[in-house]
Structure 1
Amino acid sequence: MGKLTGRTALVTGASRGIGRAIAERLAADGALVAVHYATDEAEAKDTLTAIEAAGGKGFPVPSEFGTEGDVDRLFDGLRQGLSGRPLDILVNNAAVGHTGSLESATPQDYDRVFAVNLRTPFFLTQRVLPLLSDGGRIINISSSVTRIAVSHELVYGMTKAALDVMARTLAHALGGRGITVNSVAVGVTDTDMIALLRQYPEAVAAVESATALGRIGQPADIGDVIAFLASDDARWVTGHVLDATGGMCLGLGI
């Protein structure tokens, strides 16, 4: 049996990219996975098809983050899919990227990124907490830009830094229930979010050379890390930001 057999998980933003890899890995380890998606039902179905083809189980949960009633819609779909079972694992993965500096960001940009990347995960966590089993897991997907100054990702980085604070605080608050809360900082990962980067071989080479392990990350690299934190093997890890960037920008490169 898999390490997560008999457990349940909710992965937000699970229809593609890193979220899909996480959902597939948790399902492969035996969890029943709620596959959250915003608007692309076809991609969510593809994720579920892949999960089921590998012998796993899951169900879709639609809700567009940053819109009125987003948490209510997600919670109602989650509760229906769980059919009375508790939730064991929450992975706050869904996010929108943002390219903009202090000079260029608009109030609309700011509000949108904070709504999707921080406000909804905060209130979703608040809402599902009564459903979360003692000994459960909360895992936030953070970013390397919380430790590496990237001026054009300032607003995005601020949202991820706030998630790290939330994780540490909740780890302390929920420790009495045996619930662990951690963040995973990811670096440049091969998803559609770096499609523009892929058009410039010199930019790809620069990222690879700045990464200790010498390559761009794959979604499965992150899925495997999340599987560890979701398992009993990580029972003594909480309030931690785990760097899963392959060693991005560890040195000056000179």
Structure 2
Amino acid sequence: MTLPQTPSQRLDGRTALITGASKGLGLAAACALAQVGAKVILVARDPAVLEEAVAALTAAGYSAEALVLDVTDTAAVREALSGRRIDILVNNAGTNRPKPIDEISEGDYAAVMDINVRAAYFLAQTVIASMPEGGSIINMSSQMGHVGAADRSLYCASKSAVEGMTRAMAVELGPRGIRVNSVCPTFVETPMTRPFFEQPGFREAVLAKIPLGRLGRIEDIMGSVAFLASDAAALVTGSALMVDGGWTAH
């Protein structure tokens, strides 16, 4: 009897591009992919922080490159990536401006939708031009793309859009052998979310929604990204991987 073998999650010989990669979930995603053999290209706007992250990765023996780039500048993105083969794209760059709906300005709307939706869309469009069969696009979404919350109507709108484009891209790019999925974390303590947890009662309110009883850790996201990038997820496309401690199971 020949026993089936678990598909490898190794990514040797593949190149991964990760946006918003100088810190937080983006750096965690870069580390996850580097640790299973991928060459990682870290994209961010702050050259000093970006170079520090790349230096740490290379010092640890991984293959890493810095690319200083504003992902909302579509022309610059296209120029920087022209002709470059990218096997894995992690659309992680994002922002949030939590406010009551009647306080959201057109500037807030433009800023959040510009980076969370438009930049991710056109970066994917750029990368697929040279992405080979077997490529993987991972959109960093949120549980807020599946549920609602007070003061987060704009963020929920942007992440719901990410979920919609993920499914549609999966359908369209499937015949080209390119998979498209999203990762949907619950609240994870990062530099972007830390100010929220300083608000009285916020931590307690969040934990009350999570059946597992704890916040997310960056390590919780790393396995999800590595899995979706690898051959272990070869038949997984158009899916939203919930990493939310059970929030959306309610």
TM-score of the aligned structures, taking structure 1 as reference length:
0.90
**How many residues were matched structurally?**
243
Pairwise CA distance, 1:218: 1.1
Paired position in structure 1 for 2:163: 164
Q: How far apart, CA to CA, are the structure 1 residues paired with 2:69 and 2:74?
A: 8
The one-letter code matched in structure 1 to 2:29 is: I
Tell me what 1:72 maps to: 75
* Cα pair 1:62 1:74 within 8 Å, conserved: no
Structure-1 residue corresponding to 2:63? 57
Cα distance in 2, alignment partners of residues 235 and 249 from structure 1: 25
Paired residues for 1:219-230 under 5 Å: 219-230=218-229
- Which residue identity lines up with residue 14 of structure 1 in the other structure? A
DSSP-derived class of the 1:135 partner? coil
Distance 2:117 2:189 in 1: 23
Q: Distance in 1 between matches of 2:101 and 2:201?
A: 26
Work out whether residues 86 and 131 of structure 1, in 8 Å CA contact, stay in contact via their aligned partners in 2: yes
Matched, 1:28 2:63: no
CA–CA distance in structure 1, aligned partners of residues 90 and 123 of structure 2: 11
Identity %, equivalent residues: 37
Counterpart residue number, 1:16: 23
Q: CA RMSD in A?
A: 1.8
Pairing of 1:93-242 with structure 2 (within 5 A)? 93-200=92-199, 202-242=201-241
Contact 1:17–1:191 (CA under 8 A) maintained in structure 2? yes
Q: Is the 8 A contact 2:98 2:152 kept in 1?
A: yes
* Deviations 1:226-248 (CA, angstroms, capped at 9, x unpaired): 00000000001111111111212
Matched residues in 2 for 1:117 and 1:10: separation? Answer: 16
Paired letter, 2:79: D
CA distance in 2, matches of 1:144, 1:172: 22
Aligned AA (1:54): A
Other structure's SS at 1:185 match: strand
Greater CA drift, 126-135 or 205-214: 205-214
8 A contact 1:189–1:216 mirrored in 2 = yes
Secondary structure at 1:18 match in 2: helix
Q: Which runs of 5+ in 1 are unaligned?
A: none
The whole-number CA distance in structure 1 between the counterparts of 2:124 and 2:211 is 34
Cα distance in structure 1, aligned partners of 2:176 and 2:37: 23
Q: Distance in 2 between matches of 1:34 and 1:114?
A: 24
Question: Which of structure 1's runs of 4+ aligned residues deviate more than 6 A?
Answer: none
Cα deviations across residues 1-29 of structure 1 (Å, max 9, x unaligned)? Answer: 97001000110100010000000110111
- The Cα shift of 1:193 comes to 1.7
Distance 1:110 1:25 in 2: 32
Q: Report deviation, 1:201.
A: 6.5
Structure 1 Cα separation of the partners of residues 50 and 61 of structure 2: 17
Note if contact 2:9-2:231 (Cα within 8 Å) is conserved in structure 1.
no
Could you say what secondary structure the match of 1:117 adopts? helix
From 40, 54, 65, the equivalent of 1:48 is 54
